[in-house]
Chains A and B, each alone.
Chain A
Amino acid sequence: MTQLGMVIDLNKCIGCQTCTLACKSQWTDRGGREFMYWNHVETVPGQGYPRGWQVAGGGWEGERLRPGRLPRLEEDYGIPADFNFDAALFQQGDRPLRPLDAMQWGPNWEEDQGAGDFPNGYFFYLPRLCNHCTRPACLAACPRQAIYKREEDGIVLIDQERCRGYRYCVAACPYKKIYFNPLAGRSEKCIFCYPRLERGVPQACAYQCVGRARHVAYLDDPEGAVHQLVEVWQVALPLHAEYGTQPNVYYVPPLSPPAFDPEGRPTGEPRIPEDYLRQLFGPGVDAALATLQAEIAKKEAGGESALMDLLIAYRHGDMFRLSRPGEARS
C-alpha cells in the first residue's frame, strides 16, 4: 500500500482557521454535520475539541483495542448555535449580536488561553484532522467492516451504505476524529478530500492554508516534502504515537522564545516546556527542535539550508506532490 501523508508546520500555523472553514464549507455545513469539524485548529495546552479527547480512550494497547468513550454533542463538541441576526442587524435598538442558545463548548473554545504564568505564559495552535492511520483503530473496531483503507493512497473511509451507526469507531479513535451524525444515524469523518485528489487538487485544508504550513505527498516519494521532513530530516513527528495507530499526519514541533527568570532575564530554556512537547510528539521532539534551530542558524548566518527552503515553501505548488511515486507527474 502506498500512503499519502501530510506534514503541518506548527511554526507557521497562525490559528486563522482558514483550513477549518475551507473544510467546513466544502463538507460539513449541513445535514446533521453542523457541529462536526473534520479539520479544526485548537489552542494547546487545553482540553481541545471534542472536550477531553486526549483522555477519552481509544487506540491500541498492544494487540487489543483500548476502550474509549463517546463525546457528547452539547458538552463536548458544542452545539452549533444560531445567532439573533434579525434583532441585532435589522431591528431598531442596540442589541448586540449574541448566540440564541447557551453554548457550553466549541472548536477552539479555549482560544489563546494556553498555560503558564506571566511572563512565561505559552500556547500554540494544533490543527487536527483524521490521521488516515496505518493501523486504524476505527477500522478494527467496526463489527460490520464498514471502514476501509484505500490501497492506492491509504485514505481511511467509512462506507455509508454499510455503516449502521454503532459508533464503536468513534470510541476507538483516540483522536476522536470520527463523528456520529445524529440526523443520518451514521458515522462520518474526514475523507482527505479524495474527490479533489482524484482530480489532482490538494485537500482544501492544505491548499487554502495562508501560512503555507501544510505539505502533502506520498510517504515513499523520495522527492516529496513529507518523505524529506519525516524520514530524511526527521523534523516532522506524529501526534501521540503512543496511541498505537501509526498516524500519517505529521507535525513540525513549535520552537518558542526563551522563558524569563524571576529577574526578567531570558533563561535560555524554551517557553513551551519540553516535557509538554514530548507528551504530544514523543521523545524524538528534542532532536527535531535541535535540527530546526541549527538549520535556522545557518540561514541566519547567510548560509544555505535545504530544510529551511523546504519549510519556507517559496513556491506554493511545490508543497503538494499528489502523484504516486513512479507515476507520471500530472
Chain B
Amino acid sequence: MSRSRAAARARWARGLPALLALALPPGLAWAETPMDRHLPVALTQTAPPLDPLDPAWDAAPATTIGLFPQATAPDGPGGAVLDLEARLLWGDGRLALRLAWPDATADLVDTRATHRFADAAAVQLAPAAPTLPYVGMGEPGRPVAIWLWRAGGGAEGLSAQGFGSLTNDPGSQPEAKARRTATGWALVLRGPFSPEVAALAVAAWNGSEDGRAGRKRLSAWRRLESPGAEAGGDLSAEAETAGDPARGEQLFARHGCGACHGPDASQGPKLTHAGGIHWPGYLRRAIAEPEAFRVPGFTAVMPALPLSREDTDDLVAYLMSLR
C-alpha cells in the first residue's frame, strides 16, 4: 500500500465521527484520486436515493470501471472494453450504486417473445477476508452475494459459491430503478449493506447480443474504500502486483502458457483480458493450484509449475497488464 493511501485510510478512520456530525451535503466525495482496483464509497446521513436522476448523486464521486468481455465463456461477447461509471452512496444501513453505461438499444423483458434477451446488470459483493473469492460467481467456501437487475423485470438478490451454483436469496433482494440516458442506461441498485463487504464487481449483459449467463462484460474486483474495508481483512497482500511484467512475459513464453491460453488456442480459458477481469491474488492462487479453479468446459490439464515466489510475482504482473 502506498504511503498516501495509508495516510488517507488513517484520516478516514479518525475523521469519521467528525464528518458524520458535519452538515455536509448529503454525499461526501472521497478526497483521494481513485486508483485502479479501488472504489470510493461516499457517506450520506440519509437513505441514498433510488432515482438515478436524484441530484444527491452529484455528490458521490464518479469512478470509471472497465467492463471486459467474458473471454472464458465459449460464447463470450467479444468486442472492446465498455466503460461504466459507478457512484456509491452508503447511509441508513443501505448501499446504493448508481451505474451508468452505454447500450444503444433498450432491450426489456418481453413476455411475448421466446428468442429475445433483456439488458441486465449485476453487482457482486464479497465479504471481507484475507482472500477474495474468484470473480466468476465465487468459489466453494468463499460465497458472493449478487444483486441482479433485468431491464423491465426488476431486481433479485442471489448468492453463489462457484460456477453453476447461483441461488435465490430473497433476504438480500435489492431495490432497483433504471432510466434510459442519451447513450444507454442509468441504474440505481440499493440494498442492505453490511460493513463486512470488502469488494465489489460489476457485470452487464446486452440483450441485443443475446446476453445471458457468461455472455457478458465484467469488471475485476474493486476494493471498497469505506469504513467497511477498514474493518475487514487486509487485502493489500493479495492486491500486490509488484513483479516485473517484462520478465513475466518471458516466463509466459518460456513455459509455453500461450499454447493453451493464447488468443487462438482453445485448450484453456483465454487470458485476453486477464488484467481487466482478475484479481492478482486469484491469479497467484490459480498458478499455484490450477486444478482448484477449473472452468467448466475445459479439461483440468494445467500443471502446477515449479515457480519461485519472484517468478510468480512477475507472471502475475504480466497477466495483470493484459487488458
Contact = CB atoms under 8 A, between A and B. Distances in A.
B114 A77 contact: yes
A72 B166 contact: no
Interface stretch (B105-113, B123-131, B240-248, B300-308): B105-113
Q: Is the interface of A mostly helix, strand, loop or mixed?
A: loop
Contacts of A167: 114, 212
Contacts of B112: 73-74, 79, 182
A182 B111 contact: yes
Interface in B78-115: 109-115
A127 interface: no
A144 interface: yes
Contacts of B163: 143
Contacts of A166: 212-213
Contacts of A35: 114
A77 B115 CA distance: 11
Contacts of A183: 111
Interface residues of B, number: 15
B171 interface: no
Nearest to A32: B111
A109 B115 CA distance: 20
B164 A145 contact: yes
A182 B164 contact: no
Contacts of A190: none
Contacts of B114: 35, 70-73, 77, 167, 170, 179-180, 182
Among B110, B115, B212, B213: residue with most chain A CB under 10 A:
B115
A144 B166 contact: yes
Interface residues of A, number: 24
A140 to B, nearest CB: 10
Interface in A4-37: 32, 35
Interface of B: 109-115, 153, 163-164, 166, 212-214, 296
Given A170-B114, A182-B114, 7 more contacts: A32-B111, A79-B112, A143-B163, A143-B214, A145-B164, A164-B166, A182-B110
Interface of A: 32, 35, 69-74, 77, 79, 143-145, 164-168, 170, 179-180, 182-183, 185
26 contacts: A69-B115, A70-B114, A70-B115, A71-B114, A71-B115, A72-B113, A72-B114, A73-B113, A73-B114, A74-B112, A77-B114, A143-B163, A143-B164, A143-B213, A144-B166, A144-B213, A164-B166, A164-B213, A165-B212, A166-B212, A167-B212, A170-B114, A179-B114, A182-B113, A182-B114, A185-B153
